[in-house]
Structures are given as structure tokens and as C-alpha cells.
Structure 1
Amino acid sequence: MANILGASRFLIILAVIGALIAATTMMIFGLLETINLVQKTIVTGEVSRKVAKALSLEFIEIIDLFLLGTVFYIVAIGLYELFISPNITVPKWLSIKTLDDLKNKLIAVVIVVLGVLFLGQIVSWDGERDLLGYGAAIALVIAGLTYFLTSHKAGGDKK
């Protein structure tokens, strides 16, 4: 039974492949969106504040795609390192030794994604919607995640 359970860790390869496919898809889609937006901008050739604001918003949304792709990539790398083999070549900052390392890296990226989402709302603000509640909600989530990160690291340092 111990051998079967030990070998079952390789089932995680399914999640790794799925996350890697998701990451690749998001990155390719983001690249295609970028190329499409640049082509559209060049073809129209219109230069105004309104166009600049719309362009900024669209690029922020594209960055969000890349960030989400990065989340999936980190999940793929992290799960592979944790369950399959820690012997893969990644930058030192991406090295994941524990499930807590993976959670911390994901939380950090989620915080950035939330910030980008709020920035997108600010850029597209029409002056009528109430962004205070939306911003406060995002701030509370970011504060909670930051508290989790800092208290968890502090608790880990005591051991």
C-alpha cells in the first residue's frame, strides 16, 4: 500500500499539465490581444485623450491576462517541484520547497492582480459609479492577504 500511495503523487502531473496549458493559453492570448490592439491603434491613427484613456484601459486588461497566466505557471512549477521533482532549473525566487512557499507566491501575485483590477476600474471610471466601496473591498482583501503572509512568515520564523 505504501508503494501505491507513494507513486500516486504522480497524479499531480495532470494538474501540472493543465496549469501549464492554461498558462500558455493565457500568455498566447495576451500576446495576440496586444498585437491586435497595436494594429488597431496604428490603423485608426486617432490621437486624443479619450483614445489614450481607452488604450490605457485595454493594456491594463492585457496585463491582467499575463498576470493570470503567471499564476497558472507558478502553480504548474510549484506542484511539479513539490510532488514530482525538485530538480528543475528555475530562478531562485521561483524555487518552491514547501506548500507554504507556493501559497505565499500565489498570494503575492493575487495581490498584484487585485491592484491591477482596481487600476482598471479607476482608468475607466465614468464619474457615476461608486468606486469607494469597490476600492475598500479590494483593500480589505489585500490587507487580509498581507496579514496572512506576514503573520504566517513570522510564525514560521519562530520554529
Structure 2
Amino acid sequence: MVGRALQWSRWFVLIAVVCALAGSIALLVYEAIVIVGDVAATLHMRPVTPKLAKTVAVGLIEALDVFLIAIVAQVISLGLYVLFIDETMPLPRWLRIGDLDDLKSHLVSSVIAVLAVLFMREAVAWDGSRDLLGFGAALALVIAALSLYLAVKGKH
């Protein structure tokens, strides 16, 4: 009886799967709308200056950051679905998830990419008033720690 209830309880993971997927889709659609609006606004701006180009570049980098986060949510949704609901779901080799450690590795890899984009955004927008070196060093330490985790995990 308890075993059957526990086996059935795996379906509650569908709540997380659906919510992560809905969040991913919402972020993708929202940011696509933002980009279209920004492009339309940029086309109407005159004169085109280097400062405007820098502003557009920062906006694009921010959009890429949101897209990466949306993709992370989608990967988590897929991973949870495969782990708890349907392990036979066909996925590309690079997205195959065999256990929760594989899902964590995908998440950590994605976090590294998001942190790199975050630093790139700050570097492009840098106006000399903030401590970019300290920010970059802090991010580098976090990225190094996460990379070490991936390297150690890969050896086991």
C-alpha cells in the first residue's frame, strides 16, 4: 500500500514540470516581445551615435541572458519529466539525463554560461564608476568553483 502510494506520488513532479515549462515559455515570449519593441524603437531614433550602439548592445546581451535562463528552465522541465515520468522520451545525446546528478550538471553548466553573460553585460555597460574588477573576480571565483565541481563529478 505504501509502496504503491509512493510510486503514484511521482506524478506530483508534473507540477514542477508544467510550471518550469510555463515559466520558460513565458520568459521566451516576453523577451522576444521586448526585443521586437527595442528594435522598432531603435530604428526610429535619430541620430545614431556610438552611445546608442552601446545601449543596443547592452540590451541584446540582457536579452540573451533572459533567453539562457528560459532555456535552463526548459532543460529542468525536460529533465524532471524524463527522470520521473517517461525515461524512454527521445532526447539528443547532449541532453540525456540519467539521474539527478546529470540534471544538476546541466544546471551548473547553464549557471556558468549565465554568469559569463552577466559579466559581459556589465563590461559592455561599464562607465568607470563601478568596481568591475571586484565584480569580475567574484564571478570568476564562483565559475571556478562550479567548474571544479563539474570536473570532480566527471571523474566519478
In the TM superposition, 1:1-159 aligns within 5 A as 1-154=2-155, 156=156
Following TM superposition, the consecutive aligned residue runs of length 4 or more in structure 1 with deviations greater than 3 angstroms are: none
Q: 1:33 deviation in Å?
A: 1.0
Q: CA deviation at 1:126?
A: 0.8
Amino acid aligned to 2:95: L
Report deviation, 1:151.
Answer: 0.5
Query: Equivalent pairs: percent with the same residue?
Result: 39
Distance in 1 (alpha carbons) for counterparts of 2:71 and 2:30: 13
Segments of structure 1 that go 5 or more residues without pairing to the other structure are none
Cα distance in 2 for residues equivalent to 1:56 and 1:39: 15
Q: CA deviation at 1:100?
A: 1.0
Equivalent position amino acid for 2:123 in 1: I
Most deviating of 140-149 and 34-43 = 34-43
Deviation at 1:45, TM superposition (A): 4.3
Aligned residues: 155
Unaligned runs of 5+ in 2: none
2:91 is paired with a residue whose SS is coil
TM-score (norm 1): 0.94
One-letter amino acid matched to 2:152 = S
Aligned Cα root-mean-square deviation (Å): 0.9
Q: TM-score, normalised by structure 2?
A: 0.96
State the distance in 1 between where 2:98 and 2:23 align.
23
| More deviation, 2-11/45-54 | 45-54
